[in-house]
Chains A and B, each alone.
Chain A
Amino acid sequence: GEDVEQSLFLSVREGDSSVINCTYTDSSSTYLYWYKQEPGAGLQLLTYIFSNMDMKQDQRLTVLLNKKDKHLSLRIADTQTGDSAIYFCAENHRGGYQKVTFGTGTKLQVIP
């Protein structure tokens, strides 16, 4: 099966930048996503990137995609305490566009 790996935990100080990394395995993925999950809540789509792009910026968020290394990252500028959550990367699959596999999740802790 396809595994999407992330580091488990990241701790940053408020105001610093956060970088969350993700390694995926399905080279046929057409879209890659970043979702945020706060405690006791559902997932919120933050942003996505099409596989023929290598960068996408959306306000404080910057997504970088390295297709050769199958590496995806999410940079959050000026991290705030409200950014504390679990972040999941995800990829869709050419065989079934609706089918999305989520990464293992990174818990971001922002220290005031």
Chain B
Amino acid sequence: DTEVTQTPKHLVMGMTNKKSLKCEQHMGHRAMYWYKQKAKKPPELMFVYSYEKLSINESVPSRFSPECPNSSLLNLHLHALQPEDSALYLCASSQEGTGIPYEQYFGPGTRLTVT
């Protein structure tokens, strides 16, 4: 099973709402990632979890709150978002270790619209 699943596929939320994005993988990968991708742009790294601990935070605003409850699950909690946060949010996973190529497997993404 080389699949990364993400739910929901689409999400529309108001600026005062609280919502969560979910990501799951069963490949035994111990690194998991959140990316944000605007239209016609490359993905931008937001967070990396390594062995369920946050290892990289790319200076993301606190209205985005990641959580890794176990080695298979990754959540992104959203609160008080702005319209400019509308984007495709991609989750990825990879093996973890030294001297490895970190091949990342991506989910299909959640298309988020903030109104």
Question: Which residues from chain B sit less than 8 Å from chain A, CB to CB?
Answer: 4, 31, 33, 40-43, 45, 48, 50, 55-56, 90, 92, 94, 96, 98, 100-109
Contact = CB atoms under 8 A, between A and B. Distances in A.
Contact of A96 (B40, B56, B90, B108): B56
Contact of B107 (A42, A45, A104): A42
A33 B105 CA distance: 12
Given A42-B90, A42-B106, A98-B48, 15 more contacts: A31-B101, A33-B103, A41-B109, A42-B92, A43-B90, A43-B92, A43-B106, A45-B104, A50-B101, A92-B102, A96-B48, A98-B50, A100-B102, A100-B104, A103-B42
B104 A99 contact: no
A14 B31 CA distance: 38
Contacts, number: 59
B110 to A, nearest CB: 10
Q: Which 4 A-B residue pairs are closest in the complex by CB-CB distance?
A: A42-B106, A102-B42, A43-B106, A31-B101
A34 B96 CA distance: 20
B6 to A, nearest CB: 8
Given A41-B109, A103-B42, A98 B55 contact: yes
